[in-house]
Structure 1
Amino acid sequence: MLTPAPAGRRADLAPREKEVLLAWLLHDNKDDVARELEISTTTVRTHLQRIRDKYAAAGRPATTKAALVARAIQDGLIDVNDL
């Protein structure tokens, strides 16, 4: 069972990064995310890389989409029922 991350170990994601992360978790590809958020696919990739970098800096690496799902659940950004 996953436990919430201690407050000091959370990645400090900006509101837009959270928005991109949640959209990415609910879509099959970055192009769909880009269309929904009206940004370029390159911008989606940039946000996701920054999110991964922030998780790595917090000592909680998330190199795969599955790991990003786990981090989002741990941080209370999404519930497993939302997926």
Structure 2
Amino acid sequence: MFDGTHHEPVRRAQRPTLSAREVEVLTTWLRLGSKEAAAEKLFISPATVSTHIVRIRAKYAAAGREATTKSALFARAVQDGYTTLEEW
């Protein structure tokens, strides 16, 4: 029976596609604790680390899964298989 109500299908949250370099920058930053330390380790500038993090956050926001804090980015990286708890 049709009751005139239209229901949108539930959309599953998408996993954003991060480049290998984005994953490397993200996990290095998470592991070392600061953008400066990550930059030194990766031979890039802290501004470049910041740019990567901004782009990663934008990708998560576009997928409907905002990650506005460092902890949230870590959780998303684990959820999406970009890192594992065993690596930490």
Q: Distance between the aligned counterparts of 1:73 and 1:14, measured in 2?
A: 16
Q: Distance between the aligned counterparts of 1:80 and 1:64, measured in 2?
A: 18
- The runs of at least 4 aligned residues of structure 1 exceeding 6 Å deviation read none
Runs of at least 5 residues in structure 2 that lack an aligned partner in the other structure = 1-11
Structure 1 residue 25 and structure 2 residue 38: aligned? no
Tell me by how many angstroms 1:81 deviates: 2.4
Larger Rg: 1 or 2?
Answer: 2
Q: Distance between the aligned counterparts of 1:60 and 1:24, measured in 2?
A: 20
Larger RCO, structure (CA 8 Å, separation 6 or more): 1
Query: Which structure has more helix as a fraction of its residues?
Result: 1
CA offsets 1:4-52 (integer angstroms, 9 cap, x no match): xx6x701111111111011111011100000000000000000000000
> What is the TM-score of this pair, normalised by structure 2?
0.82
**Equivalence map 1:4-83=2 (5 Å):** 9-83=14-88
Runs of at least 5 residues in structure 1 that lack an aligned partner in the other structure = 1-5
